[in-house]
């Protein structure tokens, strides 16, 4: 009986979470970014903000879907390295199970002394959204939970 109640509680109270990983590639000196986002939520938030309905799994116009996802992610993910904002270039995405894995990259960066990451993905759609940020710079790793009350993660690479 307890198991049934637990299952029902998850169905009645869905969770909203994304995971975004930032990794500086030591060879290219770019920051590679992968974001795992539930695709149905991403579709809803893109529609809410652009009034354009897309089907990420079976896009009618792949170029238009890519462009809308790129614009969305560039609006909701910001990377500041050594006090300089870096553009984020959308590479593409793939669907795995119920998530869209989106891939992005910054241009070549200098040695990272400080990095500030802003992530407010899906917060306009779900105020209870949690965005997990994983970071790997040189041999240092950090993880942080961002939400409506805090959308910025700062890291000092010493």
Give the mean pLDDT of 43-58: 94
At residue 36, the pLDDT reads 97
- Look at 87 and 12; give whichever has higher pLDDT: 87
Give the mean pLDDT of 20-24: 96
CB-CB neighbours of 124 under 10 Å = 13
At residue 12, the pLDDT reads 47
pLDDT tens, 58-98?
999 999 999 999 999 999 999 999 999 999 999 999 999 99
Give residue 157's pLDDT band: very low, low, confident or very high (50, 70, 90): confident
At residue 9, the pLDDT reads 44
Distance between CA atoms of residues 32 and 78, nearest Å: 13
Distance between CA atoms of residues 64 and 54, nearest Å: 9
Alpha-helical segments (H) within 13-155: 39-50, 62-76
For 138, which DSSP code? Answer: T
Answer whether residue 101 shows pLDDT above 90.
yes
Distance between CA atoms of residues 108 and 38, nearest Å: 29
pLDDT tens, 112-154?
999 999 999 999 999 999 999 999 999 899 999 999 999 999 9
Give residue 14's pLDDT band: very low, low, confident or very high (50, 70, 90): low
At residue 51, the pLDDT reads 94
- Look at 134 and 12; give whichever has higher pLDDT: 134
Give the mean pLDDT of 50-65: 93
């Amino acid at each position: 009986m307890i198991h049934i109640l637990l299952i029902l509680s998850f169905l009645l109270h869905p969770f909203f979470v994304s995971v975004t990983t930032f990794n500086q590639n030591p060879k290219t000196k770019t920051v590679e970014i992968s974001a795992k986002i539930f695709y149905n939520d991403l579709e809803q938030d893109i529609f809410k903000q652009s009034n354009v309905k897309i089907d990420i799994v079976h896009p009618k116009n792949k170029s238009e879907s890519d462009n809308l996802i790129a614009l969305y992610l560039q609006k909701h993910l910001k990377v500041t390295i050594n006090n300089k904002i870096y553009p984020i270039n959308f590479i593409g995405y793939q669907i795995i199970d119920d998530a869209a894995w989106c891939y992005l990259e910054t241009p070549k960066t200098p040695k990272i002394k400080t990095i500030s990451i802003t992530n407010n993905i899906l917060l306009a759609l779900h105020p209870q959204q949690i965005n997990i940020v994983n970071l790997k710079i040189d041999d240092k790793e950090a993880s942080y939970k961002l939400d409506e009350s805090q959308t910025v993660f700062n890291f000092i690479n010493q």
